Structure 1
Amino acid sequence: MNELERRYHRLLRAYPAEYRRARGAEIVDTYLDLAGPGRRWPSQADAADLLRGGLRQRLRAAGAADLIPGVRLAAVLAFLTATALAAVWSVLELHPPPAKWGVPSAGPFVSLGIGVWAAWLLAAVVYAAAPGRWTRRAVALALLLTVAVVPVAALAGLPHPPLLVLLPQVGLGLVALGLPERLPARLRATPLLAVGAAGLAGVNLLPRNDIISYYGWTAEQILPGAAVVLLVVVLLLGAGLALRADQRGGWALLVLLTPVGLLSLHILAGSADGLLNGAPRPGWSALAATAVVVGVAGPAMLPLAIALRRRMRRPAPAEPANRCPTCGVHR
């Protein structure tokens, strides 16, 4: 066994043991035949393909083969929500407070968030024109800017969007990285339609006296509303798919629990803080603690659900041949 073959066998550990025993040699031989002469390491594409295949087989063995389609459905819904919110925040960024108030601003914009929201709107355009690798790159860029805007604003001495707005955008963006590569053109254009509708809604949300409320009640009203809409949509889709024995909607709901929780962070933290301290509004400590709980509890639901599905699929032990199947008495 040469070094390349040995490394392919290491990657093959991603597959369940029974599958490796049955087809492992065939899989490795196929990759070795396709590898170029003199190659010592598997290519990145081969490694990713083996890891994806191993994950699919492990999920299939656990009875969770529909998890990956559920993740893709969740990614589409998360991307729609992220781009729609970006359109609303972009409109609000265009109306900074009057200069006579002495409130810090980023030139003609409220904050440096305008660059973040522009990146998300660009991702919607890329998704409509070139789904697949380019869309994932655009989403990754928007996600990177969403995370980087806080330290960049601190270094530049300029304002940034509130963390209450940025955190759910990060959660939605992480899920959106799982966008499917192939969708009909009319579905790929849906984010652009959502952006247009949300932009019009953002214009109507502006106060009459042009006083921006980007850091006030606007975010506290829009974010929970987006959480409710996202939750209702995934529940309706899940119910419709379940009627056809399709469990994608249930997995999509589990994947979206964290973004929904982050969108509702102010309400969840306010409820917890009110119960503990009787405070009408949550403090920073309550917001931070609730964000940590949501960020940990949501992803933990997936392995628990997979373990439960595996347990439900485990066959019952066979009855001994010398036991009566009716009364259970030994013969």
Structure 2
Amino acid sequence: MTIDLRSDTVTKPTQAMLDAMMQAQVGDDVFREDDTVNRLETRIAEMFGKENALFFPSGTMANQTAIKLHTQPGEQVICDKYAHIYNYESGGASFNSGVSCRLIDGDRGMFNAKQVLHAINPNDYYYSRTSLVAIENTTNKGGGACWDFNEILEIRKVCNANKLGFHLDGARLWHALVAKSETTRQYGEVFDTISICLSKGLGCPVGSVLVGDSKIMQDAIRIRKLFGGNMRQAGYLAAAGLYALDNHIDRLSDDHKKAKDIGATLSGLSMVKTVEPVETNIVIFEMNDDINTVAFIEKLYQNDIKIISMGGGKLRIVTHLDYTNDMHKFVLQQLKKLNITNS
């Protein structure tokens, strides 16, 4: 039995989720006739207090659609240097929307309103026009860190004063909501658009949803089509999302606890240099300079444990729905037993 801790996207649907999927009432979503997709979109829009929601096959496509809705070619998006839209979406911001990214050197993927203000370009014609601020919550490369909501409110004020759009890449927003006892309505009131992932943390096989008010979302379905994202009987996938919303959110606190256990264990190993603070389900750590990280990963793999390198000497462990209590005990034991020699 392999214990896969590379990401929370490696989970497989539970039997109960599969049952819900097989019972879905479906239709042709291109004609907007899939009842289950429509129910999922309506439900998530209502959760965030937004007028519209649209189901997407991936979070990347939802984010890329949001960028295109907010910008015109030649404009600029402000985001953190660790942002998913900059690092992990294949240069889509420039390719799909013709925009550049103004990178902020934040703290674990997060920045403050003052930094946003300083990053806005002057109005002179020879500057790229700043049109959008995008943040990510929780931050992936920041180790699952959660934003301070008060800082988000301050950034909103800057956006209002400078007529900028405000987008949230909420790939793991569910984790932040559980960790900080916040609500979907809070976020819906602040952001113009929010992408919500159903396959990270919630255990769905596929799917993200983009929410926003009717004016900003009026071309979303056209852009989804342009990106090749229209689906037909997508209700089987949407049914997984509906099931997850009912059954898989509260349990995220279990993933957070396991991640904190792993972080504490790693902190006690002499071969580990640093462990980022663990708030949710992601653990990012670095080995000592004299430790071969490739050998460390291989040693874990030999013991049926998979983790991932993030580059720059950083390693990542992500807890999730399929990571059981017995697996957790085994992983903690193996971490304590490891003895990697210099190479």
Q: Calculate the TM-score normalised by the size of structure 1.
A: 0.24
Rg bigger for which structure?
A: 1
More helix as a share of residues? 1
More strand as a share of residues? 2
Higher relative contact order (CA 8 A, sep 6+): 2
